């Protein structure tokens, strides 16, 4: 499927299909419109919004105060399928996009078109297109990094923030947190964040067998369990989180927990788009400083941090010290969950989110 995609793109370029797009590199969003996996299952109606130079695919449901859900890597809007209905039923306007570079939204292959400042501007354009003044922003993984940035750069557009697994970046004017729990990951040159940097390197591994890649990532237990992870040898591929090496050697990190229909959609979507858009979030990480250059050092809206007991990559301890710059902060740890919290333990996540929304957002 990926080879078919590349041949399609080469033919499209030679035919002038991408002329006038105004962005260097190929537009994944245009490709998605021509080879679409279709709307995600178990989600409300799909529509598109023009924002910040992209055509963003958006699912929404309900009326009331807006709640925008932002997914991470390698997920899609589909990862919030269990949250959108209950939040809408509780009297809120739930809005769930495929983020820039992903799924039906897509985006340029050029890393310069990515960055935290760009991701935040995408969300502001989304609100503007819908005539929404302020929203609660909910994010997981990379989406969490975006939503914690929003109240520091666009404080007048935020009602509140909910971060799943991802903690807020500590402002540079504060000293480091003392006594926080050290990471269990043994970071080397083969740590996944490092191996995702070189264009084409991770794509070659992840796109070789997209289903295998999703069976690998979206699993639970094994290395996604903190206790099991801590017992592995420090020189193992697992402890070093050498994801590409593990995939190439056929090491399965955990057990599948998603329905076949959900995995099928992820696979169809990534067979159509490839992984470059999502990987560009890692490659543009150095631009976090650009977004925060003139940002506030405090977050002045109500906030909720939800951690997961067994998340090794983003453990609950990573949120230590957030109270130093967020006056109205609540924390909750979801038990028996690894990194994919809203998909692993949707009922508990929904309970915590709905309780907080009912008390903090009117």
Four-residue CA torsion sign, 159, 100, 76, 306: negative
CA dihedral 230, 231, 236, 237 (to 10 degrees): -50
What DSSP string runs through 221-260?
SGGGSHHHHHTS-TTSTTTTT-HHHHHHTT---SEE-S-H
Contact indicator for 238, 223 with CB cutoff of 8 Å = yes
Helices (H), 35-178: 81-89, 116-130, 142-153
Give CA–CA dist 253/265, Å, rounded: 21
Cis peptide leading into residue 74 (ω within 30°):
yes
Count of helices and strands (H, E) across the chain = 15, 10
Residue 342, CA atoms < 13 Å, CB-side half-sphere: 31
Helix (H) or strand (E) holding 331: strand 329-334
Helix (H) or strand (E) holding 16: none
Cis peptide leading into residue 159 (ω within 30°):
no
- Which residues are known to be catalytic? 141, 282, 339
Place of tokens 């927990």: 257
Name the token pair of 96: 């769930």
Label residue 226 exposed, middle or buried (CB < 10 Å: 0-12, 13-18, 19+). middle
Which residue(s) pair with 93 in the sheet? 66
Give CA–CA dist 164/35, Å, rounded: 32
Q: Please state the separation of Cα 38 from the chain's center in Å.
A: 20
Total residue count of the chain as it appears in this document: 362
């Amino acid at each position: 499927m990926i080879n078919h995609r590349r041949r399609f793109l080469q033919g499209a370029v030679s035919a002038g299909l991408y002329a006038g797009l105004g962005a260097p590199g190929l537009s994944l969003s245009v490709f998605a419109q021509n080879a679409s996996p279709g709307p995600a299952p178990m989600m409300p109606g799909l529509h598109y919004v023009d924002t910040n130079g992209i055509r963003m695919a958006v699912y929404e449901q309900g009326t009331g105060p807006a709640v925008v859900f932002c997914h991470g890597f390698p997920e899609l809007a589909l990862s919030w399928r269990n949250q959108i209905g209950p939040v809408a039923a509780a009297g809120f306007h739930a809005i769930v996009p495929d983020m820039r570079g992903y799924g039906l939204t897509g985006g340029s292959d050029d890393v310069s078109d990515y960055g935290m400042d760009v991701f935040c501007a995408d969300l502001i354009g989304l609100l503007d297109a819908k005539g929404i003044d302020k929203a609660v922003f909910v994010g997981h993984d990379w989406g969490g990094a975006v939503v914690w940035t929003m109240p520091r750069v666009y404080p007048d557009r935020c009602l509140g923030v909910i971060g799943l697994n991802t903690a807020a970046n500590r402002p540079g004017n504060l000293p480091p947190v003392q006594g926080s729990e050290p990471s269990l990951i043994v970071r080397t040159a083969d740590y996944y964040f490092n191996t995702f940097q070189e264009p084409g390197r991770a794509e070659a591994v992840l796109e070789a067998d997209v289903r295998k890649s999703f069976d690998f990532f979206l699993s639970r237990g094994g290395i996604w369990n903190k206790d099991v992870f801590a017992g592995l040898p420090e020189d193992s591929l697992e402890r070093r989180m050498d994801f590409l090496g593990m995939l190439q050697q056929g090491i399965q990190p955990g057990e599948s927990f998603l329905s076949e229909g959900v995995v099928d959609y992820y696979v169809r979507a990534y067979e159509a788009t490839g992984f470059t858009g999502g990987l560009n979030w890692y490659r543009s990480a150095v631009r976090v400083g650009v977004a925060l250059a003139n940002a506030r050092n405090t977050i002045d809206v109500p906030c909720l941090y939800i951690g997961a007991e067994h998340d090794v990559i983003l453990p609950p301890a990573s949120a230590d010290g957030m109270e130093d710059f967020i006056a109205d902060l609540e924390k909750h740890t979801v038990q028996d969950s690894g990194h994919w919290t809203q998909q692993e333990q949707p009922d508990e996540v929904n309970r915590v989110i709905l309780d907080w929304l009912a008390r903090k957002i009117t």
